[in-house]
Amino acid sequence: MTQQLNISDPTTGMAYKKVNETETSMRYLIGKRINEEVEGDDLGFEGYVFKIRGGADKEGFPMTSSVQGGVRRTILTSGGVGFRPLRERNGIRKKKRVRGDTINEDVYQINLVIIKKGEKKIEELLATEK
């Protein structure tokens, strides 16, 4: 099983992608929730601190913070994650299938934001793993 980490840097506006294939770093993220801060040392980024902002499972259903746990549910929503109305009308609600806020084995894509930078640049860390 692999996980894809989408890392965004708010200071530069750049986004980076890393395919996470090591078993130890995948286990480190299991059980973490949206808006939780994680250390980058176990992910291969020395000195970095990331914040989990969301993700998606293997089938593409987005994670949302309104559903607790790692389950997939159908919710009635009027906006937010996974909802794109065709026309802008007030009061439109729709049933959407979403994933909960906890990372488990079924989550493939994880979106991270850099909170604290390490000594090395992130480009250097991504280049050395290739």
Q: Is residue 80 part of a domain?
A: no
Q: Considering the domain boundaries, does residue 93 fall inside one?
A: no
Q: What is the pLDDT of residue 14?
A: 93
Mean pLDDT in the chain? 88
Closest CA to 57 of 36, 73, 75: 73
Q: Please tell me the predicted confidence (pLDDT) of residue 101.
A: 93
Strands 94-99 and 107-116: unpaired
Q: Of 116, 117, 110, 114, nearest to 33 (Cα)?
A: 110
Q: Does residue 32 belong to any structural domain of this protein?
A: yes
84-107 pLDDT, tens per residue? 777 767 778 888 899 999 999 999
Question: Does 130 score more than 70 pLDDT?
Answer: no
Given strand 37-39, what is the order of strands in its sheet?
Answer: 14-20, 3-9, 107-116, 49-57, 37-39
Give the pLDDT score at 73.
Answer: 93
Cα 54 to Cα 38: distance, rounded to the nearest angstrom:
13
* Domain with 10 in it: 3-70+100-128
In a domain, 77, yes or no: no
Per the model's pLDDT, the better-predicted residue between 89 and 6 turns out to be 6
In a domain, 66, yes or no: yes
Interval 21-60: pLDDT, tens: 777 777 889 999 999 999 999 888 999 999 999 999 999 9
Contact 33, 48 (CB under 8 A): no
Domain assignment present for residue 33? The answer is: yes
The mean per-residue pLDDT over the stretch 123-130 comes to 74
| Whether the predicted pLDDT of 129 surpasses 70 | no
Asked if residue 10 is part of any domain, the answer here is yes
Residue 22, domain member (yes or no): yes
Q: Total domain count for the chain?
A: 1
Beta bridge partners of 99: 63, 72
**Tens digits of residue pLDDT in 58-82:** 999 999 998 999 899 999 888 777 7
The whole-model pTM stands at 0.86
Say if CB 54 and CB 36 are below 8 A apart.
no
